[in-house]
């Protein structure tokens, strides 16, 4: 069981945590243009899923901007940030932040991603938010990197993510 904390206090996550080598679960979410985003695997392509509590927090803002910058160096990788923010808030944030290379999707309707990837927070001040985590899916639809960030207020390990993509 993965241990995740918020300011040092344990956070309970709903669902089973995933590990490298497993098949990436499918899920449905909503894009910021209100269309449906369905992931059922993308044969031959690599994908990074970054779950964050909210784009309207400093750490999530920094992380998503960093992934947007990294996207230039990773043209063959789709980068998707998933949060519980409403699609309207995601669209506003992307416009204000100049983020245009990362796809943002909202898990607000059914928490499909949160449940499938084991990042849906149960209870406490972040109830029904998503924990900070990164999942890299390889071209065979298997997870090649999984990181549940131990302290929600910290950034993921960008060096390890880059190394997994090589």
Positions marked active-site: 60
Residues 6+ apart with CB under 8 A from 47: 24, 39, 77, 78, 79, 80, 136, 137
E strand residue ranges, 7-61: 9-14, 27-31, 36-39, 46-51
CA angle 24, 30, 34 (to 5 degrees): 155
Instruction: Count CB neighbours of 114 within 10 A.
Output: 28
Structure tokens at 151: 């302290």
Instruction: Count CB neighbours of 5 within 10 A.
Output: 15
Of the candidates 113, 134, 9, 14, the residue with the CA atom closest to the CA atom of residue 66: 134
């Amino acid at each position: 069981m993965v241990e995740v904390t918020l300011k040092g206090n344990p956070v309970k996550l709903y669902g089973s945590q995933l590990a490298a080598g497993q098949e990436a679960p499918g899920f449905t979410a909503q894009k910021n243009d209100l269309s449906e985003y369905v992931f059922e695997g993308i044969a031959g392509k690599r994908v990074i899923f970054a779950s964050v509590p909210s784009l309207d927090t400093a750490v999530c803002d920094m992380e998503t901007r960093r992934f947007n910058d990294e996207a230039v160096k990773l043209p063959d990788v789709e980068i998707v940030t998933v949060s519980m923010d409403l699609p309207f808030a995601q669209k506003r944030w992307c416009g204000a932040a100049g983020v245009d290379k990362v796809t943002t999707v909202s898990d607000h309707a059914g928490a499909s991603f949160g449940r499938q990837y084991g990042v849906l927070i149960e209870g406490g001040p972040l109830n029904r938010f998503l924990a900070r985590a990164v999942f890299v899916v390889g071209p065979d639809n298997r997870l090649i990197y999984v990181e549940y960030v131990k302290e929600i207020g910290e950034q993921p390990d960008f060096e390890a993510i880059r190394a997994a993509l090589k």
